[in-house]
A and B are shown apart, each in its own frame.
Chain A
Amino acid sequence: MFFTQEGFALTWDYRQLFIDGLVCTVSLSALTVIFGFILALVLAVMRLSNWHPFSFLALDKNGHLREEGFLAALGRFNPVSFIASIYVELFRATPMLVQLFIIYYVVFADIDIPSFKLFGTIRFERFVPGVVALSLNSAAYLSEIIRSGIQSIDGGQTEAARSLGLTQTQNMRFIILPQAIKNILPAIANEFVTIIKESSICYTIGVGEIMYAVASIKGATFRIAEPLVVATAVYFCLTFPTSKIIEHFERKMSVGDKR
């Protein structure tokens, strides 16, 4: 038998660990969503930006852009977009675990984070690198979602906005992003759910989230199946309502789509 009543009873004795784990997972995911989304927005705008700082090098004496040659290529170079592309490709092409370890063991090796317990249970000096790693990673994925959302908006919208005299930034803010975000909400919801699930990886650096609770109970009781069942249920109770809540917002935002 995998599951025994005794096993569940033992697990129940350690329920406080799950509650702490739940609090930790929720904080971890929520902060990741916030920071990840902000960074993703910045990355997406960077990738789609139209900044050509060297374009003055490609101007001829009448102030027109040259068509060909090295200077013309330099004139078209957009360092901001280039940096964002490198970032996205790098984070999407390497394992999350590697990124987490690099952040925790290398980047934060010499950074002093005050070690205290958040909400009385979360070890702050491990929690912060976890949030950072998760945010950096999810930002790469989210930015691709946002970018495709932005690009899916009909070019006529930008043309109309620009012809009214709106700057590129105003066009983004008032015209493109509100429409794009509405379109990509399902994909974003998906990514939020992924973040909740992926946050379990932080157990490997000793962040006291749900999987950490499972490991602790296993160590104390030598039971694994029952704590895992509980963990599964807790994760499901987190992710399922999350997607439902976002679906609700999606419906609310679709005003203007229907007659």
Chain B
Amino acid sequence: MTNDKIIQVKDLKKYYKKGVIKALDGVSVDINRGDVMVVIGPSGSGKSTLLRSLNLLEEPTAGSIIFEGVDITNKKIDINKHRQKMGMVFQHFNLFPHKTILENMILAPVEVKKIPAEQAKAKAMQLLERVGLADRADAYPIQLSGGQKQRIAIVRALCMEPDVMLFDEPTSALDPEMVGEVLDVMKELANEGMTMVVVTHEMGFAREVGNRVLFMADGKLVEEGTPEDIFENPQSERLQDFLSKVL
């Protein structure tokens, strides 16, 4: 695995209400190409805010994010160009309900990347095949189960051929029996070498698939390490306390 840095987060701060709420309070972290970085922490610790800042869905109050060598917090750059290369998967799927599965998938490749529709369709069908949903290509999102929706959301993002995939609690809104099918897709993606940043409460996934784990609390990065470091040998009291509650 090469160690080139795909994303560098530098002293990132996100304040709400003029600094009364510090969702992020100075977070710095480097993400290497091929990393599967899992972010854990108690509710309200700033995990989502960090993840959403990475593609600037959340505009940071201070600090910078260097993505593939470009400071994307700089207002003068065209953020759309960089966002294309970062896939994002949300807790609530956010599929487009008025479009079929196939239309959901080819919209961005066709409109943003200007790929011919036929080519985009072929690519989409290939991805659908891989997640076992090719027969649902013409269905509407409402006709799918939660697990199916989330698998579609993942392949929809993959259609843009991103360099990194961001996941914000991708299994939290799912019925327990559907969690596995989504995690399997993510696992496969990780095995193919995709760079991933995953906010999750699935500690099993963090251990098994992650190569780095970040523990956040109160908007700060409290502890960082390999899954073994974090789960077998937690240093800080906050982390020990957190693990005792979730494990």
Stretch binding the partner chain, chosen from B76-84, B119-127, B196-204, B228-236: B76-84
Mark interface residues in A167-191 (1 if CB within 8 Å of B CB, else 0): 1001000110011001000000000
Asked whether A174 lies within 8 Å of B107 as measured between CB atoms, the reply is: yes
User: CA–CA, A68 to B59, complex, Å?
Assistant: 16
- Chain B residue nearest to A254 (CB atoms) is B98
Contacts known (A64-B75, A170-B111); A178 close to B98, Cβ less than 8 A: yes
- Chain B residue nearest to A156 (CB atoms) is B94
* 9 extra A-B contacts, CB within 8 A, seeds A63-B75, A166-B111, A255-B140: A159-B90, A164-B83, A164-B112, A165-B84, A166-B108, A170-B112, A174-B111, A256-B97, A258-B142
Asked whether B75 lies within 8 Å of A166 as measured between CB atoms, the reply is: no
Residue of A68, A163, A174, A259 ringed by the most chain B CB atoms within 10 A: A163
User: CA–CA, A55 to B59, complex, Å?
Assistant: 14
- Chain B residue nearest to A258 (CB atoms) is B142
- Chain A residue nearest to B85 (CB atoms) is A165
Inter-chain contact total with CB atoms closer than 8 Å: 91
- What is the distance, in angstroms, from B91's C-beta to the closest C-beta of chain A? 9
Asked whether B140 lies within 8 Å of A163 as measured between CB atoms, the reply is: no
- Chain B residue nearest to A155 (CB atoms) is B94
Asked whether A256 lies within 8 Å of B160 as measured between CB atoms, the reply is: no
Asked whether B112 lies within 8 Å of A59 as measured between CB atoms, the reply is: no
- Chain B residue nearest to A165 (CB atoms) is B84
Contacts known (A64-B73, A165-B84); A179 close to B98, Cβ less than 8 A: yes
Question: Which listed residue (B75, B83, B113) contacts A162, Cβ 8 A?
Answer: B83
User: CA–CA, A161 to B153, complex, Å?
Assistant: 12
Q: Is B157 an interface residue (CB 8 A)?
A: yes
Listed from nearest, the 4 A-B pairs whose CB atoms lie closest are A165-B84, A160-B94, A164-B108, A63-B74
Residue of A56, A156, A165 ringed by the most chain B CB atoms within 10 A: A165
Q: Is B86 an interface residue (CB 8 A)?
A: yes
Contacts known (A64-B62, A175-B96, A256-B97); A163 close to B55, Cβ less than 8 A: yes
How many chain B residues touch A (CB < 8 A): the figure is 41
Question: Which listed residue (A68, A157, A166, A174) contacts B80, Cβ 8 A?
Answer: A166
- What is the distance, in angstroms, from A78's C-beta to the closest C-beta of chain B? 15
- What is the distance, in angstroms, from A122's C-beta to the closest C-beta of chain B? 40
Asked whether A65 lies within 8 Å of B80 as measured between CB atoms, the reply is: no
Residues of A with C-beta under 8 A to B84: 164-165
- Interface hits, B115-149 → A, CB 8 Å: 140-143
- What is the distance, in angstroms, from A175's C-beta to the closest C-beta of chain B? 6
User: CA–CA, A258 to B98, complex, Å?
Assistant: 11
- Chain A residue nearest to B110 (CB atoms) is A174
Sampled A-B contacts (10; CB under 8 Å): A63-B74, A65-B59, A67-B18, A165-B81, A166-B107, A166-B111, A179-B97, A182-B98, A256-B98, A256-B142
- What is the distance, in angstroms, from A172's C-beta to the closest C-beta of chain B? 12
User: CA–CA, A170 to B96, complex, Å?
Assistant: 14
Contacts known (A65-B75, A256-B98); A163 close to B80, Cβ less than 8 A: no
